[in-house]
């Protein structure tokens, strides 16, 4: 039995991960009970970080004031690491970062600095830490008008609203949350020869924003004949917003 603690358990990725783990008997889940735990209070994290095999750190802030973004990424991760050190946690840590760690936005810089902090902590304390840089994750339960153009388009088409489409033909890669969850679950039981492991998690699903808009708009006409898995995942995502709009 692998005992797992998950921060950000109420978020888009966290909820999808928990849903998948509940179907597998070899995992025991500990959700981040906000009535007991606080990522801004190190001492409150004693029980959360103790007696775990893996901690998946999915909690993050990617919108808001500079202060909230910095505290919602760097500070809470520092506190989690401090609690793991203080209470002698033996858990492997899996941190969900972002491809925006290479950008100059406050969010991107906060993610990059957090990665550097994790690498330093791993080296100093010989702690197994995996960092996944995620690429444009989409799927059921993703919040529209927040961090996913697919979520926004699906929500708008389902409600009959007009889309605002950037005409740029640049193609972007998109990662279905179900595929990401599979990668995280595989990592839970993976024993690596190196303590610190960083990997960009992407996909071969590549499409321009105008073509993406046309495809999602076509879903309004009824169930399409889709051959590519990516298109099927998009359609499943669209249907989830269609049901919400009723």
Q: Domains in the chain, start-ordered, CATH in brackets?
A: 2-245 (3.40.50.720)
User: Average pLDDT for residues 20-40, to the nearest whole number?
Assistant: 92
Q: What span, in angstroms and rounded, lies between the C-alpha atoms of 80 and 208?
A: 38
Determine the Cα–Cα distance for residues 81 and 89; give it in Å rounded to an integer: 9
Residue 1 burial class via C-beta count within 10 angstroms: exposed 0-12, middle 13-18, buried 19 and up: exposed
| Pairing assessment for the beta strands 171-173 and 137-138 based on DSSP bridges | unpaired
Q: How confident is the model at residue 244 (pLDDT cuts 50, 70, 90)?
A: low
224: helix, coil or strand? coil
Does residue 243 surpass a pLDDT of 80? Answer: no
**pLDDT reading at 245 higher than 90:** no
Question: What is the C-alpha separation between 214 and 33, in angstroms, rounded?
Answer: 41
pLDDT at 87 > cutoff 60: yes
What does the pLDDT look like over 176-235, one tens digit per residue?
A: 999 999 999 999 999 999 999 999 999 999 999 999 999 999 998 877 777 889 999 999
Rounded Cα distance between 7 and 201, Å, is: 20
| Sequence-ordered strand ranges (E) for 112-201 | 129-134, 137-138, 171-173, 175-176, 196-201
Region 159-170: mean pLDDT is 88
Query: How far is residue 21 from each of residues 12, 58, 152, measured CA to CA in Å?
Result: 15, 15, 27
Q: What six digits make up the tokens of 218?
A: 């076509």
**Chain CA centroid to CA 168, Å:** 26
Whole-number pLDDT of residue 76: 97
pTM for the full predicted model: 0.93
Among the listed residues 60, 57, 56, 58, the one whose alpha carbon sits nearest the alpha carbon of residue 27: 56
Average pLDDT over residues 91-102: 96
């Amino acid at each position: 039995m692998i005992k797992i603690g998950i921060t950000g358990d109420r978020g888009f990725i966290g909820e999808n991960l928990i849903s998948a783990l509940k179907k597998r008997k070899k995992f025991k889940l500990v959700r981040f009970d906000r009535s007991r735990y606080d990522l801004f209070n190190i001492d409150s994290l004693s029980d959360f970080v103790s007696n775990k095999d893996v901690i998946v750190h999915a909690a993050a802030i990617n919108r808001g004031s500079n202060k909230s973004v910095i505290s919602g990424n760097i500070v809470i991760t520092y506190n989690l690491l401090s609690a793991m050190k203080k209470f002698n946690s033996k858990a492997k840590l899996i941190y969900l970062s972002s491809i925006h760690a290479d950008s100059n936005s406050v969010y991107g810089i906060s993610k990059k600095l957090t990665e550097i902090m994790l690498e330093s902590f791993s080296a100093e304390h010989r702690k197994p830490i995996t960092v996944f840089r995620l690429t444009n994750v989409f799927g059921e339960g993703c919040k529209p008008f927040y961090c996913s153009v697919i979520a926004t388009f699906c929500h708008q088409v389902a409600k009959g609203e007009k889309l605002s489409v950037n005409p740029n033909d640049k193609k972007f890669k998109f990662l279905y949350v179900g595929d990401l969850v599979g990668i995280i679950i595989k990592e839970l039981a993976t024993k690596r020869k190196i303590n610190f492991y960083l990997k960009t998690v992407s996909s071969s699903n590549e499409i321009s924003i105008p073509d993406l808009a046309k495809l999602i708009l076509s879903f309004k006409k009824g169930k399409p004949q889709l051959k590519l898995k990516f298109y099927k995942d998009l359609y499943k995502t669209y249907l989830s917003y269609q049901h919400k709009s009723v």
